[in-house]
Amino acid sequence: MYDAIVIGARCSGASTAMLLARRGHRVLVVDRSSFPSDVISTHFLWPHGMSYLNRWGLLEQVLAVTPAQTEIDVVNDGIRLTGSVPAELLRAYFRDLHGDDSGVVRTYASIRRSVLDQILVQAAAKAGAEVRTNFTVRDLIVEDERVVGIRGRTSDGQLVEERARIVVGADGRNSFVARTLKLPKFDERPRCTFAYWSYYSGFRPETAQLHRRGRLACAVVPTNFEQNMVLVWGPSEWSREFRADVPGNYQRALDFVSPELGELVRAQGTREERIYGTLDQAAFLRPLHGPGWVLVGDAESFKDQCTAIGMTHAFRDAELASAALDRWLSGGATIDEAMASYEGRRRGQDAAAYYDYVCTLAEMRPYRHDELQLFVALRGNQQEIDRFIATHADVAPVSEFFQASNLFLLNDAAKETSAGYPIFEDFAATSRMYQQNLFA
């Protein structure tokens, strides 16, 4: 009999298992994968994601093999904003959500999942969790309408049964736990992006770059093995045409969104792997907990990749869920109290507003004139650029930055500087041009 069985041993599962084991609980964590291995992800970790690794004592191991930076370039329709997530906002984030602000770092990194997930799995084992890989969960044991364990198959075909006080579903967006319990999805957002990416050697950008033009976007981020992850994305309505010629349209999208990046990749880049892609990123939420089970990570909330937040959210869930479960397992709270505190922190207004922000961005509508005007107004205002980047990364609340009074203040402040507006005298023509499918 375990205290907890965790299904899934990647960002949310290995972390939850590690944190529970460190608090002295008897934990089994299983995964049908073996490690090291990759999973579909472009693996960018914002500074709060890096801070979680630092809080858990794992950051040094990651940084030994992964380049990290602090400043990021965000270029929207040619308007370049360079900044970083401020330390005071990171500290406020950790204090509000977790009650202490230890371990804050301002760096971000792009860590291949074969590297990161292996570090997490090893840390879970080192903390005392029993790790079984190549182990596929085939059934949940339910007694008196409560989940009390799992049945699964080992790599040599043996069927085994294990029991625990709680089963944690950290099993990704197609969660076996959720499907078996027939959990509903809610607030589904079918409109999402298509995303294609690969790995290039031969150049080294100084910072990560995020570019957006019209309905398309691209990014370049240095990653492990002296390579760069180069990603393009666009609205799912254009995916059929994009797929007709993936290598050609990938380069075409880069050239359109950022001619400099397109040229860098063409002239200096050597592609080291195939081009990976996904069309399936419709967002949804699921219930967080029930009798004998709790969900963390993508299993409870899946979102489009366009703000690169899923791994950081998986770490957040691991800290929140393990702290709540620890209070119950140690006798400091009833299970209902523990789960209510997890739910309260996970499903507050800020979380709902950020979910909406990601899902709206994922529709990839061309920026409106007032949105572009905001980017122009930000130029030269470093404090507010940094706050915008922190907001985009879900460190600062979306509702605060985008509230009308703040936008008025930003516009007023811009009038005092040389930034000025309006921008884009040919906005109407540009906007029409952006509606056309580049790949048709």
Q: Give the footprint of ligand FAD on this chain (CB under 6 A).
A: 7-8, 10-13, 30-33, 39-44, 136-137, 170-172, 176, 195, 278, 281, 297-299, 305, 308-312, 314
Q: Find the shortest distance in angstroms from Cβ 304 to ligand FAD.
A: 8
Nearer to ligand FAD, 372 or 396 (CB): 396
Q: Find the shortest distance in angstroms from Cβ 23 to ligand FAD.
A: 20
Alpha-helix runs per DSSP H in 5-155: 11-22, 47-55, 59-63, 87-98, 113-127
Quote the CA–CA distance of 390 and 72 in Å, as a whole number.
11
Amino acid identity of residue 293, one-letter, is W
Nearer to ligand FAD, 74 or 195 (CB): 195
Q: Could you tell me which residues come within 8 angstroms of residue 205 by beta carbon, excluding any fewer than 6 positions away?
A: 220, 222, 228, 264
Nearer to ligand FAD, 283 or 414 (CB): 283
Q: Find the shortest distance in angstroms from Cβ 55 to ligand FAD.
A: 17
Nearer to ligand FAD, 211 or 379 (CB): 211
Q: Find the shortest distance in angstroms from Cβ 177 to ligand FAD.
A: 8
Quote the CA–CA distance of 433 and 56 in Å, as a whole number.
48
Q: Find the shortest distance in angstroms from Cβ 155 to ligand FAD.
A: 12
Note whether 208 and 219 are within 8 A (CB): yes
Q: Could you tell me which residues come within 8 angstroms of residue 425 by beta carbon, excluding any fewer than 6 positions away?
A: none
Q: Find the shortest distance in angstroms from Cβ 264 to ligand FAD.
A: 20
Q: Find the shortest distance in angstroms from Cβ 415 to ligand FAD.
A: 37
Nearer to ligand FAD, 261 or 311 (CB): 311
Q: Find the shortest distance in angstroms from Cβ 195 to ligand FAD.
A: 5
Q: Could you tell me which residues come within 8 angstroms of residue 48 by beta carbon, excluding any fewer than 6 positions away?
A: 85, 90, 93, 94, 312, 316, 393, 394, 395
370 C-beta neighbours (distance < 10 Å), count? 11
Nearer to ligand FAD, 310 or 366 (CB): 310
Note whether 160 and 134 are within 8 A (CB): no
Quote the CA–CA distance of 379 and 333 in Å, as a whole number.
49
Note whether 77 and 214 are within 8 A (CB): yes
Quote the CA–CA distance of 408 and 414 in Å, as a whole number.
10
Q: Find the shortest distance in angstroms from Cβ 352 to ligand FAD.
A: 18
Q: From the centroid of its chain, how far is CA 29?
A: 22
Q: Find the shortest distance in angstroms from Cβ 242 to ligand FAD.
A: 14
Sign of the dihedral defined by the CA atoms of residues 178, 393, 197, 363, in that order: positive
Amino acid identity of residue 8, one-letter, is G
Burial class (CB in 10 A: 0-12, 13-18, 19+), 9: buried
Taking CB atoms, the residue at the shortest distance from ligand FAD is 310
Quote the CA–CA distance of 286 and 184 in Å, as a whole number.
6
Nearer to ligand FAD, 183 or 299 (CB): 299
Nearer to ligand FAD, 176 or 238 (CB): 176
Quote the CA–CA distance of 54 and 310 in Å, as a whole number.
18
Name the maximum alpha-carbon separation found in the chain.
Answer: 72
Q: Find the shortest distance in angstroms from Cβ 75 to ligand FAD.
A: 18
* CA-closest candidate to residue 121, choices 4, 24, 34: 34
Nearer to ligand FAD, 298 or 384 (CB): 298
Nearer to ligand FAD, 229 or 414 (CB): 229
Output Rg (C-alpha) for the chain, integer angstroms.
Answer: 22
Quote the CA–CA distance of 374 and 388 in Å, as a whole number.
10
Q: Find the shortest distance in angstroms from Cβ 63 to ligand FAD.
A: 17
β 216-223/208-213 pair status: antiparallel
Nearer to ligand FAD, 13 or 292 (CB): 13
